[in-house]
């Protein structure tokens, strides 16, 4: 039960400290939509998504109105499209259908134009991955992801090499919009099946037919609580744990209500602190409140480790089902503190890579010069995948080589924010990337 005191305290956090539920994401299985032709598959997909998610936005707005808890985004994720279209092809037509569904039901994004190729690619999956730039260019709300590695399988370097080419092409095809196609594309290692956050959300094949996954937020609440802490780091951690519990209770309540109203199964609550470009809603500012002059300086990774651990410990008891990525996100363009640190030159890609060994989820929303080669992009992906595979955690890359720009910034607006173009090491790694094959799984992964 949610007590009246929890409701009153939540209302105070909403009004003063930017507390919100970042997203309600409905996951929908499309396995029963597969037909003998892509036309019939698209028809079935349209009918099912509209039928299941038609009231998603309305239900979210009802809950927000009745409780006073802002629910920023309502989203849909679907079974990886590469699975649905393996027999018929026509994946881009499915992407267009999903985009039409998203527009009609009013969600901001629909995820699942995805492929899982951590160990190898079928010929069709390779063709599907090559279709991603076109799919992102001809749609507005479709998001894509590709899983190229896992702790059990190792890293599929053929897929990593291909993704460098795909990112470059997506940047070119959406060059008139700041290469925004790349902002809707994530390359994963150890992708999870229950992630409510875009652009990486897809509905796992091991999930029920329709589920509700909720992603909470609240960096501003954590920072406000730490402003009154004068003690040592143990007291800092305890304070974060208590706040994380309260934030997660909000997510639990919203998930239960949305599931009930929409006739869906309650999936998970993702505990991740998700920042926005709005002042007072920054993970970077939490780290600075702990004691850093600027995020990106020495001590940043240690502070992030403390934060991430405390968030998980505090939130895990507050909900029936924890899942997703659950930690602290560090997307550069979506966090005003990260933006400022990058613009000052304190926060660099190399430091961000070190931080991804700790946080959720990886090198996220990073803009780089438009002439960055596909081989360098593939090398960046391989490095990040290695961190995930060796440490048995989810990592990802969402990098934007901004076509025609070498410096400055690119503004995507909304939650995607403003990305400063960060310098990247251009030392050639073509020979390494071109070898292909598979980087084997770490030896300790064999522990059945």
Cβ burial, residue 86 (10 Å; 0-12/13-18/19+) = middle
d(CA 22, CA 216): 5
The secondary structure element, H or E, covering residue 351 is: helix 349-355
- Contact predicate 271/307, CB 8 Å: no
The reported pLDDT for the residue numbered 217 is: 80
Q: How is the chain split into domains, by residue range? A: 25-189, 214-439
Per-residue confidence of the chain (448 residues) as pLDDT tens digits? 555 555 555 555 555 456 778 889 999 999 999 999 999 999 999 999 999 999 999 999 999 888 888 888 899 999 999 999 999 999 999 999 999 999 999 999 999 999 999 999 999 999 999 999 999 999 999 999 999 999 999 999 999 999 999 999 999 999 999 999 999 999 999 999 988 888 899 999 999 999 999 988 878 888 888 988 899 999 999 999 988 888 888 888 889 999 999 999 999 998 888 777 776 778 899 999 999 999 999 999 999 999 999 988 888 888 888 888 887 888 888 888 888 899 889 999 999 999 998 887 888 889 999 999 999 999 999 999 999 999 999 999 999 999 999 988 888 877 787 889 999 999 999 999 999 999 999 988 887 7
DSSP letter string, 373-415 = -HHHHHHHHHHHHHHHHHHTS-EEEEEEEETT-SSSEEEEEGG
The reported pLDDT for the residue numbered 2 is: 52
User: How many Cβ atoms sit within 10 Å of the Cβ of residue 321?
Assistant: 14
48 HSE (CA, 13 A, CB side): 22
d(CA 169, CA 173): 6
d(CA 273, CA 258): 21
CATH architecture for segment(s) 214-439: Alpha-Beta Barrel (3.20)
Residues in the chain, total: 448
* Residue burial 23-59, b: 16+ Cβ < 10 Å; e: rest: bbbbbbbbeebbbeebeebbebbbebbeebbeebbeb
Helix (H, G, I), strand (E, B) or coil at 368: strand
Nearest residue to 105 (alpha-carbon basis) of 262, 268, 274: 262
DSSP letter string, 152-189 = TTEEEHHHHHHHHHHHHHHHHHTGGGTSGGGGGEEEEE
Within this chain, domains 25-189 and 214-439 share the same CATH topology? yes
Predicted TM-score of the model (pTM): 0.91
**Torsion 152-158-162-167 (CA) sign:** positive
Say if residue 25 is preceded by a cis peptide, omega within 30 of 0.
no
- Report the topology of domain 25-189: Anaerobic Ribonucleotide-triphosphate Reductase Large Chain (3.20.70)
d(CA 416, CA 414): 5
């Amino acid at each position: 039960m949610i007590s009246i005191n929890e409701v009153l305290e939540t209302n105070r956090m909403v009004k003063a400290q930017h507390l919100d539920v970042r997203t309600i994401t409905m996951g929908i299985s499309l396995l029963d939509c597969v037909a003998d032709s892509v036309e019939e598959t698209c028809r079935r997909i349209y009918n099912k998504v509209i039928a299941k998610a038609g009231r998603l936005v309305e239900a979210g707005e009802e809950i927000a109105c009745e409780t006073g808890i802002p629910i920023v985004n309502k989203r849909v994720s679907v079974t990886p499209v590469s699975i649905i279209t393996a027999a018929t092809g026509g994946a881009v037509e499915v992407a267009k259908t999903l985009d039409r569904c998203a527009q009609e039901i009013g969600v901001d994004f629909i995820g699942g134009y995805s492929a899982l190729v951590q160990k190898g690619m079928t010929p069709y999956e390779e063709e599907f991955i090559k279709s991603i730039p076109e799919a992102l260019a001809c749609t507005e709300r479709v998001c894509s992801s590709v899983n190229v590695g896992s702790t059990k399988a190792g890293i599929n370097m053929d897929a990593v090499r291909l993704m460098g080419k795909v990112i470059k092409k997506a940047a070119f095809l959406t060059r008139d919009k700041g290469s925004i196609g790349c902002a809707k594309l994530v390359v994963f290692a150890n992708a999870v099946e229950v992630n409510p956050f875009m652009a990486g959300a897809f509905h796992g094949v091991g999930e029920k037919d329709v589920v509700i996954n909720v992603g909470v937020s609240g960096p501003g609440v954590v920072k406000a609580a730490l402003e009154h802490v004068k003690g040592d780091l143990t007291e800092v951690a305890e304070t974060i744990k208590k706040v994380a519990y309260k934030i997660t209770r909000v997510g639990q309540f919203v998930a239960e209500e949305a599931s009930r109203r929409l006739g869906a199964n309650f999936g998970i609550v993702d505990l991740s602190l998700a920042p926005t470009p709005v002042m007072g809603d920054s993970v970077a500012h939490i780290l600075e409140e702990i004691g850093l002059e600027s995020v990106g300086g020495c001590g940043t990774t240690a502070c992030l480790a403390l934060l991430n651990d405390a968030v998980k410990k505090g939130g895990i008891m507050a909900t029936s089902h924890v899942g997703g990525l659950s930690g602290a996100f560090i997307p550069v363009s979506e966090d005003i503190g990260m933006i400022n640190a990058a613009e000052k030159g304190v926060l660099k890609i190399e430091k961000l890579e070190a931080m991804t060994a700790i946080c959720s989820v990886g090198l996220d929303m990073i803009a780089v010069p438009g002439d960055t080669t596909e081989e360098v992009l593939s090398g960046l992906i391989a490095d990040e995948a290695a961190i995930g595979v060796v440490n048995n955690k989810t990592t990802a890359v969402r990098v934007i080589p901004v076509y025609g720009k070498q410096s400055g910034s690119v503004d995507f607006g909304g939650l995607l924010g403003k990305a400063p173009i960060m310098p990247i090491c251009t030392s050639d790694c073509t020979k390494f990337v071109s070898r292909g094959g598979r980087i084997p799984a770490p030896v300790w992964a064999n522990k059945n």
